[in-house]
Amino acid sequence: MAKVEASAPGKCILFGEHAVVFGQPAVAVAIEQRITVSLELLEEGADEWRIDGMKLIPSKHPHVEALRSRLWQKKAGAPALSIHINGDVPPASGLGSSAALSVAASACLRAARGRWLSEGGEATETKDWAEGFSSQLTDTDVYSKVDEGKDPARRVGANGQGSSHVWGEQAIDVDECALLGHAVEAIAQGGRASPMDSSVCAHGGIVLLSDEVEKGTDWVYTRTLNIPEGDRTWQVHTIPVMTDEQDVYLVIGNSGVHAPTSIQVAKVAAAMSENPQRMREIETIGLIARRGVEALLKGDYEAVGRAMSENHLMLRGLGVSCLELDDLVRAAAPSSLGAKLTGAGGGGCMVALTRNPKQTSEAIELAGGRTLISKIGNAGVRIESHEGLPFWKPSSK
Ligand code: PMV
């Protein structure tokens, strides 16, 4: 049977949600919980994609549809596939389930399609690619509308002539998965998405996003996106994970209250335009995030926890917490180093940093939350298994 399976982690925001919309730094970590995507080649002659056993309806699955139009075009000869999605990242709760799905699905499609390289080229060198997307290539524009008559993954110019073909793990480029993940998130969210979720779900570990290059961390790339309000630019960095000798855990508490991110973001935007003085609060969240980053770099988790709790107070002041989240944060406090809401707020999840995960988890559950426990900084996207690759070999010319 021809089959490929890839997984990517969910994420949680440690510092800087909402303030990041105004250009302040924000930090997200990959959690242990993952989304697994598997693709199977359908029997010959099958024409319609299937998802979890049902016919795939593009409008219901905008992420899959946007990836399919970039990497798996029927017009270019790509065969129909069956896709299965599993995992333990709860959907629509601010834990990055849609980004993890997009990143894992792009890894599956690339592994199954393979990649044409120029003659004697290396899969790890983007300059040798005859096809593909990467932030290291200046002509990559995965957000713009796909021209149905043209294979968008095919490159033009000197490196646009395919002569050797690689597939499976060899064909995977994590930056490409992150870039495609960001593009399809933007499409599914009406043109607006930061690269936070897609970067952390692809690269794993800890990711810092800012509108400037932040000293003391490892800068990885600049990401730009044309959103309805104009061009936006983000600097994406990674922070080394210093937890080897430290027994620290994240306990995530889900309030079960549903609050759409767009409403929460609009609420903060309205507060800022009503009273521009309040931009100080946004700047203070930025300062707290920078302090949190310094503490993370030193492996000083007591200070990381303090910064998280301060961040929560600022978010409360902005009006993006709610009674349920405050209850869970309060319940976690006695047994943890720090706790805060994570993500857009108004509902969704909170996160506590703790050396006593069992105790903290029980306290949060007693206060009405459903919990997940995770170590800090987990592996990014990876291929779990494959057989019968490639599913399809696009023509080399
Ligand atoms: O709840 P999430 O994971 O979608 O996080 C939203 C984070 C915000 O800063 C509130 C919005 C954003 O686009 O960064």
**How far does residue 32's CA lie from ligand 1's centre (Å)?**
20
User: CA 357 from chain center: how many Å?
Assistant: 25
Atom of ligand 1 nearest to the CA of 11: 3
**Does residue 397 lie within any of the structural domains?**
no
State the residue range of the domain holding 346: 249-374
**Does residue 273 lie within any of the structural domains?**
yes
Same domain, 10 and 126: yes
Same domain, 85 and 159: yes
**How far does residue 143's CA lie from ligand 1's centre (Å)?**
20
Q: Lowest-confidence range among 4-18, 134-148, 162-176, 286-300?
A: 134-148
Atom of ligand 1 nearest to the CA of 17: 9
Same domain, 236 and 276: no
Same domain, 120 and 154: yes
| Residue of the CA atom closest to atom 4 of ligand 1 | 94
* CATH number reported for the structural domain that contains residue 273 in this entry: 3.30.70.890
Tell whether the model's pLDDT for residue 56 goes beyond 90: yes
**Does residue 394 lie within any of the structural domains?**
no
**How far does residue 57's CA lie from ligand 1's centre (Å)?**
27
**Does residue 181 lie within any of the structural domains?**
yes
Same domain, 125 and 200: yes
Pick 245 or 319 by higher pLDDT: 319
Same domain, 39 and 188: yes
| Residue of the CA atom closest to atom 11 of ligand 1 | 18
Instruction: Name the pTM for this structure.
Output: 0.94
* CATH number reported for the structural domain that contains residue 205 in this entry: 3.30.230.10
Same domain, 231 and 268: no
Atom of ligand 1 nearest to the CA of 345: 1
Same domain, 95 and 218: yes
Same domain, 257 and 130: no
Q: DSSP of 270-319, one letter per residue?
A: HHHHH-GGGHHHHHHHHHHHHHHHHHHHHT-HHHHHHHHHHHHHHHHHHT
pLDDT in tens, 210-219: 999 998 889 9
Atom of ligand 1 nearest to the CA of 196: 14
**How far does residue 17's CA lie from ligand 1's centre (Å)?**
6
Cα–Cα distances in angstroms (integers) from residue 54 to residues 35, 48, 51, 58, 103, in the given order: 19, 10, 5, 12, 22
Single-letter amino acid, residue 106:
S
Same domain, 190 and 267: no
pLDDT in tens, 149-189: 777 788 776 667 788 999 999 999 999 999 999 999 888 88
Q: Which residues line ligand 1 (CB under 6 A)?
A: 17-18, 20-21, 94, 194, 196, 261, 264-265, 343-344, 348
* The total number of structural domains that make up the chain: 2
Structure tokens at 1: 């049977």
**Does residue 140 lie within any of the structural domains?**
yes
Query: What pLDDT is recorded for position 163?
Result: 85
